[in-house]
Amino acid sequence: VVTEMAIFTALPGKEDELGRAIGHGVEFIRQYPGCISVGIARSIEKPARFTVSIDWQSVDVHVNGFRNSPLFGQWIGSIMGLFDQEKLDTQHYQAYRA
Amino acid sequence: VVTEMAIFTALPGKEDELGRAIGHGVEFIRQYPGCISVGIARSIEKPARFTVSIDWQSVDVHVNGFRNSPLFGQWIGSIMGLFDQEKLDTQHYQAYRA
């Protein structure tokens, strides 16, 4: 299992609209078989910032599977035009044991 | 419950040392009564980057409680000198429901 953490920053004036769009859009992600779970959170200090945390079965399932599926287009289509693409940060994380 | 998400970026050459230091240092955080849970993750694409996700009972418990406690000094002392302070990003997040 890997966790994709995507950090979105709303364009000015689009904060609440982006939140609602993410809330609806993640339903497309949840439909993909390799998706284990999805969580959305909003920053208290910077309410324009939302995180979408997605547990995937593997990086491959996400990058080569989901991103090539029609569901990816539906997800991106839901939120396009509402966030600052230059500030988008997406990484895959693995739980770390020291 | 609020989730503090702190993103640390290791100084060059300090990547693995920072990971181990975080692993030991979070024990100080776990000892604070208002801390509910702590998780550590490492980016696959940028292995210099670690996230520390901490569930706190409230923002107040974290900011006015923990940060004024000796445990905070022990935590910071564990990792000081290993990460780029300018790249440190710390926010409090709340679960979002659309």
pLDDT tens-place string over residues A34-92? 999 999 999 999 999 999 999 999 999 999 999 999 999 999 999 999 999 999 999 99
From chain A, the residues in CB contact with B58 under 8 A are: none
The rounded Cα A97 to chain-centroid distance in angstroms is 25
**Which pTM value belongs to this model?**
0.93
How does pLDDT run across B62-88, given as a tens digit for each residue?
Answer: 999 999 999 999 999 999 999 999 999
Give the A:B interface size as CB pairs under 8 Å: 76
Q: SS3 breakdown of chain A: % helix, strand, coil, rounded to 5?
A: 40, 35, 25
DSSP-based three-state secondary structure for B39: strand
pLDDT for residue B98 is more than 80: no
- Segment (H or E) for B13: none
Q: How far is A57 from chain B (nearest CA, A)?
A: 14
A63 Cβ under 8 Å from any chain B Cβ = no
Q: Name, in order, each residue with C-beta under 8 angstroms of A46's C-beta and a sequence gap of 6 or more.
A: A9, B91
Of B24, B25, B76, B84, nearest to B49 by C-alpha is B84
Which of A9, A96, A97 is the best substitution to test chain B (most B C-beta atoms within 10 A)? A96
A39 Cβ under 8 Å from any chain B Cβ = yes
pLDDT at B93: 98
CB-nearest partner of B41 from A23, A45, A93: A93
How does pLDDT run across B13-44, given as a tens digit for each residue?
Answer: 999 999 999 999 999 999 999 999 999 999 99
ipTM of the complex: 0.91
Q: Name, in order, each residue with C-beta under 8 angstroms of B79's C-beta and a sequence gap of 6 or more.
A: B8, B18, B21, B22, B25
How does pLDDT run across A22-40, given as a tens digit for each residue?
Answer: 999 999 999 999 999 999 9
At what angle are helices A70-79 and A15-30 packed, to 10 degrees?
A: 170
